[in-house]
């Protein structure tokens, strides 16, 4: 592994369950995770849908930011992939050849240290068959959910597509393939060792409720079907907070526009974000659910509203005007710009600073020389690829004010 990572916040995502939307969010998943455990990702969707270029994706796996888990045939067998019924499973020579090489290079390491992990053969189909044999009422229950008008809101889209391929084999087959996916997803999450799953769709949570509200069972418990149902309540809260953070990053993406996020992912911004989300999760993981709703945006707004930019004229708060002298110098600088060098305001600012004897002070207040900022820097590094300064602090506060939970 080529990089030592300072902080961890391990997550797991069965990304292909979410289709294009999951891959469009891939950069945000990487931003909030260390590492991000991905189950059997589609290289075609990484290349054509996601915002992370293939060579960067490979580098993030090599550096331990992303960890890949899948069945051995998915990782090593090009023919299997190319003949797979899901068109997005096709082998990509650049991405999949690199992942196969990393898999082989890591063979001698402990599973937890491997960057690409070959999972044991699936056991979900056998377990689903035994489960339904012991609990035949579940067949009707799951078929009712499958055939309902709002099935896509109750069952993850990937699971729904799998079950649809077996409708000709009857109700028992439909129920079996739904539960087979549930068992396999639970096993994959356990294999990853992640702190929390990333559930990107409301259908995930409704699916978990379907499982926990299923008819009484004998033998195998219903709660063994879903990762979130088997974990402590604190883990479910961590997942909820991570999902809130993803929504906030989506909002920042819209406001900031398109930009390269490679510097953020590789740099201090992501490290600070990891420390920040870990601290918030540790603080709130045992709080009542009602206190968890909206906690990410609430904490971020409060921290930024209290934050100060420390400049030569003293602290500047997000909602406090700069000292009058700064406004006077700005005005003088504008006048000099007009008289001496129209169209070259930077030269004018340099002249104004010399005339008024302020030196770096004015430039610092205007953002050209770093100020001391006691709030979180990661929102600025994520959105603008630079640290907080006066204009961007105002803009960030306004952007977060527009966010609706």
What pLDDT does 356 receive?
37
* Residue 300 in this model has a pLDDT that exceeds 90: yes
Question: CA-CA distance, 154 to 100, in Å (whole number)?
Answer: 35
Q: Within the chain, what is the greatest distance between any pair of CA atoms?
A: 89
* Residue with the larger pLDDT of the pair 312 and 113: 113
Site of tokens 């604190």: 234
Q: Is 282 exposed, middle or buried (0-12, 13-18, 19+ CB in 10 A)?
A: exposed
Q: For 82-137, how does the pLDDT look when each residue is reduced to its tens digit (9 = 90+)? A: 999 889 999 999 999 999 999 999 999 998 899 999 999 999 999 999 999 998 98
* Residue with the larger pLDDT of the pair 262 and 364: 262
What is the DSSP code string of 128-197?
Answer: HHHHHHH-THHHHHHHHHHHSTTHHHHS-HHHHHHHHTTGGG-HHHHHHHHHHHHHHHHHHHHHHT-SEE
What's phi and psi for 311, nearest 5 deg? -120, -170
What pLDDT does 405 receive?
73
What pLDDT does 404 receive?
85
What pLDDT does 132 receive?
93
Residues 140, 214 contacting (CB under 8 angstroms): no
What pLDDT does 93 receive?
97
* Residue 347 in this model has a pLDDT that exceeds 70: no
Q: Report the percentage of the chain scoring pLDDT > 90.
A: 56
Question: CA-CA distance, 48 to 338, in Å (whole number)?
Answer: 49
Residues 21, 160 contacting (CB under 8 angstroms): no
Mean pLDDT along residues 143-158: 89
Q: Report the percentage of the chain scoring pLDDT > 70.
A: 79
What pLDDT does 158 receive?
81
* Residue 321 in this model has a pLDDT that exceeds 90: no
Mean pLDDT along residues 15-38: 94
Per the prediction, the chain carries an average pLDDT of: 82
Question: CA-CA distance, 257 to 333, in Å (whole number)?
Answer: 31
* Residue 386 in this model has a pLDDT that exceeds 50: yes
- 369: Cβ contacts below 8 Å, ≥ 6 apart: 360, 363
Taking CA atoms, 236 is separated from 2, 5, 361, in Å, by 33, 25, 48
Top mean pLDDT of 171-175, 285-289, 363-367 is at 171-175
- 222: Cβ contacts below 8 Å, ≥ 6 apart: 211, 212, 214, 229
Q: For 322-332, how does the pLDDT look when each residue is reduced to its tens digit (9 = 90+)? A: 333 333 333 33
What pLDDT does 139 receive?
94
Closest to 358 in 3D by CA, of 332, 336, 329, 338? 329
Which of the 8 DSSP states describes residue 294?
T
* Residue 224 in this model has a pLDDT that exceeds 80: no
* Residue with the larger pLDDT of the pair 386 and 215: 386
Q: For 193-220, how does the pLDDT look when each residue is reduced to its tens digit (9 = 90+)? A: 999 889 878 778 788 777 777 776 665 5
Closest to 300 in 3D by CA, of 159, 151, 401? 401
Site of tokens 């068109």: 87
Residue 66's beta-bridge partner residues? 36
CB atoms < 10 A from the CB of 385, how many? Answer: 16
Q: For 53-90, how does the pLDDT look when each residue is reduced to its tens digit (9 = 90+)? A: 999 999 999 999 999 999 999 999 999 999 998 899 99
What pLDDT does 147 receive?
94
Q: Which two tokens stand for residue 326?
A: 């700064």
What pLDDT does 273 receive?
96
What pLDDT does 45 receive?
97
Q: Band the pLDDT of 253: cuts 50, 70, 90.
A: very high
Residues 246, 214 contacting (CB under 8 angstroms): no
What pLDDT does 315 receive?
54
- 185: Cβ contacts below 8 Å, ≥ 6 apart: 14, 39, 226, 227
Residues 38, 67 contacting (CB under 8 angstroms): yes
What pLDDT does 48 receive?
97
Mean pLDDT along residues 129-156: 91
Residues 43, 68 contacting (CB under 8 angstroms): no
Q: Which two tokens stand for residue 49?
A: 């849908």
What pLDDT does 400 receive?
94
What pLDDT does 206 receive?
80
Sheet holding 66-71, edge to edge: 116-119, 66-71, 36-39, 11-13, 196-197
Taking CA atoms, 136 is separated from 139, 162, 212, in Å, by 6, 21, 16
């Amino acid at each position: 592994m080529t990089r030592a990572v300072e902080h961890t916040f391990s997550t797991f995502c069965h990304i292909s369950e979410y289709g294009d939307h999951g891959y469009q969010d891939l950069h945000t998943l990487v931003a909030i995770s260390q590492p991000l455990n991905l189950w059997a990702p589609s290289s075609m969707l990484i290349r054509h849908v996601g915002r992370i270029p293939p060579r960067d994706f490979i580098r993030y796996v090599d550096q331990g930011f992303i960890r890949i888990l899948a069945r051995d045939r998915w990782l090593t067998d090009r023919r299997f992939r190319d003949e797979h019924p899901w068109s997005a499973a096709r082998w990509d020579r650049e991405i999949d050849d690199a992942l196969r090489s990393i898999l082989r290079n890591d063979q001698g390491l402990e599973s937890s240290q491997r960057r690409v992990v070959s999972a044991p053969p699936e056991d979900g189909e056998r377990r689903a068959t035994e489960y339904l044999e012991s609990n035949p009422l579940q067949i009707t229950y799951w078929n009712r959910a499958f055939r309902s008008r709002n099935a896509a809101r109750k069952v993850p889209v990937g699971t729904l597509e799998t079950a649809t391929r077996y409708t000709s084999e009857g109700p028992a087959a439909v129920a079996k393939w739904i539960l087979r996916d549930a068992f396999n997803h639970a096993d994959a999450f356990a294999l990853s060792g992640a702190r929390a799953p990333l559930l990107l769709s409301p259908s995930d949570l409704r699916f978990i409720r379907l499982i926990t509200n299923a008819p009484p069972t004998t033998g195998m418990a219903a709660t063994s079907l879903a990762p979130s149902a088997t974990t402590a309540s604190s883990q479910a809260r961590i997942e909820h907070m991570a999902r809130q953070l993803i929504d906030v990053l989506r909002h920042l993406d819209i406001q900031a526009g398109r930009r390269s996020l490679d510097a953020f992912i590789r740099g201090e911004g992501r490290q600070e974000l990891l420390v920040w989300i870990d601290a918030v999760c540790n603080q709130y993981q045992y709080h009542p659910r009602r206190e968890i709703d909206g906690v990410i945006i609430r904490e971020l707004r409060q921290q930024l509203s209290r934050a100060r930019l420390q400049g030569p004229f003293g602290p500047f708060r997000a909602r406090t005007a700069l000292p009058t002298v700064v406004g006077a110098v700005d005005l003088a600088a504008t006048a000099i710009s007009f008289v001496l060098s129209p169209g070259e305001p930077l030269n004018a600012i340099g002249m104004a600073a010399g005339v008024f004897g302020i030196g770096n002070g004015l430039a610092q207040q205007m953002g050209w020389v770093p100020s001391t900022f006691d709030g979180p820097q990661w929102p600025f590094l994520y959105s603008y690829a630079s640290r907080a300064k006066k204009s961007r602090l105002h803009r960030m506060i306004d952007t977060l004010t527009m966010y609706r939970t």
